[in-house]
Chain A
């Protein structure tokens, strides 16, 4: 192993947990602080991309198999649409939040915003899985 590889891998292993935790922090705090699900999803995906860049695509794929990214991608959108159905079940428009009578909570706490936090998680998962899928697909295929 070259010394450059060693430094790269050590630093990546050290930094990676912080990247991931920060990404999920940005996703979950989208309703009370700057950022949100799109930015947080990108940060989470960047963690995986950094890992795959330092350790090689095969190792990266072993951490995050194709099955996981594909199902995250599909179920993220489905989750969003199902949350939208809450409004229809209650007899108000699709994706309604306050109209559907959902408790909005105290502004500034992590549970505020009713459906918004849950929708944000769906969007974050979607964005992260799309970025990872695009990265791996483009890197793996020697076209």
Chain B
């Protein structure tokens, strides 16, 4: 009974591996110029980032200008993380004797 289950697990793992490797084999080659990732967005960022934001570091241009809204909520995620840790770990005033 146990052996049959092991066999089933191995079968499922191998079929999952087959599907995943098949998906990887379907991926476009790395860095090829006709990849779908090279669209007008990439061209816009590479060609116009300096002109539109005035900064030399393109990562900063994207993080703090094109995607500034995203970054704002990223900082709010950090805020929430700190808040959650404090709520979970810090004892409030007068709660020390409940320990």
Contact = CB atoms under 8 A, between A and B. Distances in A.
Contacts of A30: 57, 60, 64
A94 to B, nearest CB: 7
A116 B86 contact: no
B85 A126 contact: no
A71 interface: no
A120 interface: yes
B89 A95 contact: no
Contacts of B90: 137, 141
Please classify how large the interface on chain B is, using the bins under 10, 10 to 19, 20 to 34, 35 or more: 20 to 34
Nearest to A122: B75
Which label, helix, strand, loop or mixed, suits the secondary structure of the B interface? Answer: helix
A12 interface: no
A112 B75 contact: no
Please classify how large the interface on chain A is, using the bins under 10, 10 to 19, 20 to 34, 35 or more: 35 or more
Interface in A67-110: 73-74, 76-77, 80-81, 84, 94-95, 97-98, 104-105, 107-108
Contacts of A127: 75, 78
A43 interface: no
Nearest to A83: B68
Contacts of A129: 82
Contact of A80 (B50, B54, B59, B75): B75
Contacts of B82: 73, 129-130, 133-134, 137
A62 B61 CA distance: 37
B95 to A, nearest CB: 12
